[in-house]
Amino acid sequence: MEKNNFEVTILVDQSPLEVYQAINNVRGWWSENIEGETDKSNAEFLYHYKDVHASKIKVKELVPHQRVVWEVLENKFSFTKNPNEWAGNEMIFDLSKVGNQTQVKFSQIGLTPAEECYEVCYEAWTGFVTNSLRKLISEGKGEPTPKDTEWGFNEEIIEKWNLTERANKQNFSFSFISSKPAEEIFSQLLDVDKWWSGLFAETIKGESHQLNDEFTFKAGGGAHYSKQKLIELIPNKKVVWLVTDSNLSFLNDTKEWVDTRISFDLSQEGDKTKVTFTHTGLNPQLECYGSCSSAWTGYLGNLKDKMVGQLDK
For residue range 165-191, what is the model confidence (pLDDT) as tens digits? 555 557 888 999 999 999 999 999 999
42 and 140: one domain?
A: yes
Overall pTM > 0.75: no
CA nearest to 237, candidates 207, 273, 271, 281: 273
Identify the pLDDT of residue 71.
Answer: 97
Q: What is the mean pLDDT of residues 242-261?
A: 95
- What is the spatial distance between Cα 293 and Cα 104, in angstroms, rounded to a whole number? 47
- Write down the pLDDT at residue 50: 77
Domain range enclosing 32: 6-164
- Whether residues 105 and 190 share a domain: the answer is no
Domain at 34, CATH number:
3.30.530.20
Q: Pairing state of beta strands 214-219 and 53-63?
A: unpaired
Q: Would you state the pLDDT for residue 165?
A: 56
Within a domain: residue 139?
yes
Q: Give the count of domains, the chain.
A: 2
Q: Are 70 and 94 in contact (CB under 8 A)?
A: no
**Please, are residues 44 and 56 in contact by the beta-carbon 8 Å criterion?**
yes
State how far the alpha carbon of 151 is from the alpha carbons of 6, 26, 136, 154, 158, in Å: 26, 19, 20, 8, 10
Domain boundary residue, one of 116, 134, 164: 164
Tell me how far apart the alpha carbons of residues 46 and 70 are, in angstroms, rounded to a whole number.
Answer: 12
Judge whether 1 lies within some domain: no
Q: Are residues 182 and 101 in the same domain?
A: no
d(CA 239, CA 216): 17
285 band by pLDDT with thresholds 50, 70 and 90: confident
Q: Please return the burial class of 177, using the count of CB atoms within 10 Å of its CB with bins 0-12, 13-18 and 19+.
A: middle
